[in-house]
């Protein structure tokens, strides 16, 4: 059974700080990795995706992937109160490129 | 651009009643389509996925079923709802290998 573990929350950081979100996964066949943000009562929205080992930066967001360690992370620099949400990690695998979601980490950015 | 339509946004149903949730997409052809359920305070659980018309794969055995009668239409059904079927139902699409999934606005289902 595919498992995805995310660091337990809730996580609180002050405005302007770096938020670090971690995720480990069990399926070594996972090829792509996605981070979604979900505001309370809303559907998930894609933030970033990463395919290759290393870092990928997009604005204030940096995704890091280490396939050997089966570990993926998301860093949010200069955190803003609008970043307060639940962040979902989702490795992708299978013939239909199914996603397996972690239970999410709730982030609160304090003004 | 791709658009996913889900309706209704909220639904309250009694235990034992039938269910039909519809998802339609625009702006793409032959997408992979997915149904997820999110219980309160939990992550997303994949229920069904479809790679083409009439092709349905089930991830979790339960009293739900899915159908894809047209390329851009994906339907989630139940003949008799259980209390445990309450949750936030999300339809998602992907346009190909290694492409991200994008979600509709979802249907919040409450079973009484």
Interchain pair A43, B42: CB under 8 A? no
Rounded-to-integer distance, Cα A54 and Cα A5, Å: 20
Query: Each residue of B39-82: pLDDT tens digit?
Result: 887 889 999 999 999 999 988 867 899 999 999 999 999 999 99
Report the residue of chain A nearest B6, measured CA to CA: A43
CB contacts of B51 in chain A (<8 Å) are 95-96
Closest CA to A25 of A107, A98, A106: A98
Per the DSSP assignment, residues forming a β-bridge with A75 are A20, A62
For the cut 70, the answer to whether the pLDDT of residue A87 exceeds it is yes
Confidence of residue B15 (pLDDT cuts 50, 70, 90): very high
Is-contact A63 B18, C-beta < 8 A? no
pLDDT of residue B61: 65
A43 touches B: beta carbon within 8 Å: yes
CB contact at 8 A, B35 and B66: yes
Cα separation, B18 vs B81, whole angstroms:
6
SS3 string, chain B, reads: CCEEEEECCEEEECCCCCEEEEEEEECCCCCEEEEEEECCCCCEEEEEEEEECCEEEECCCCCEEEEEEECCEEEEEECCCCHHHCEEEEEEEECCCCCCCEECCCEEEEEC
| Strand A54-58 to A61-66 pairing | antiparallel
- The pLDDT, as a whole number, for residue A2 is 80
Q: Is A46 on the interface with B (CB under 8 A)?
A: yes
Q: Does A25 touch chain B (CB under 8 A)?
A: no
Which residues of chain A make contact with B36, given a CB cutoff of 8 A? 101
* Cα A68 from Cα A43, distance rounded (Å): 31
Reported as a single tens digit per residue, the pLDDT across A17-68 is 999 999 999 999 898 999 999 999 999 999 999 999 999 999 999 999 999 9
Residues in chain B within 8 Å Cβ distance of A98: 34, 46, 49, 59
- Chain-centre distance for alpha carbon A84: 13
Q: What is the pLDDT of residue B5?
A: 96
Q: Please, what is the Cα angle at B102 between B97 and B68, to 5 degrees?
A: 75
Three-state SS at A99: strand
């Amino acid at each position: 059974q595919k498992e995805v573990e995310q660091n337990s929350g809730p996580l609180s950081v002050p405005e302007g700080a770096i938020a670090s979100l971690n995720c480990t996964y069990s399926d070594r066949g996972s090829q792509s990795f996605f981070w979604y943000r979900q505001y309370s009562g809303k559907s998930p929205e894609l933030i970033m995706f990463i395919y290759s080992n290393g870092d990928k930066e997009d604005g204030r967001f940096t995704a890091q992937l280490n396939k050997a360690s089966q570990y993926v992370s998301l860093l949010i620099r200069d955190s803003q109160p609008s970043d307060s949400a639940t962040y979902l990690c989702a490795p992708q695998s299978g013939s239909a490129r199914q996603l397996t979601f972690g239970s999410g980490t709730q982030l609160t950015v304090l003004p | 651009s791709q658009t996913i339509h889900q309706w209704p946004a909220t639904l309250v149903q009694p235990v034992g009643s039938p269910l039909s949730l519809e998802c339609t997409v625009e702006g793409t052809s032959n997408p992979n389509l997915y149904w997820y359920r999110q219980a309160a305070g939990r992550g997303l659980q994949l229920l069904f996925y479809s790679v083409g018309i009439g092709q349905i794969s089930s991830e979790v055995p339960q009293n739900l079923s899915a159908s894809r009668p047209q390329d851009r239409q994906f339907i989630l059904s139940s003949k008799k709802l259980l209390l445990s079927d309450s949750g936030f139902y999300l339809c998602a699409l992907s346009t190909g290998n290694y492409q991200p999934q994008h979600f509709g606005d979802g249907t919040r289902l409450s079973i009484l």
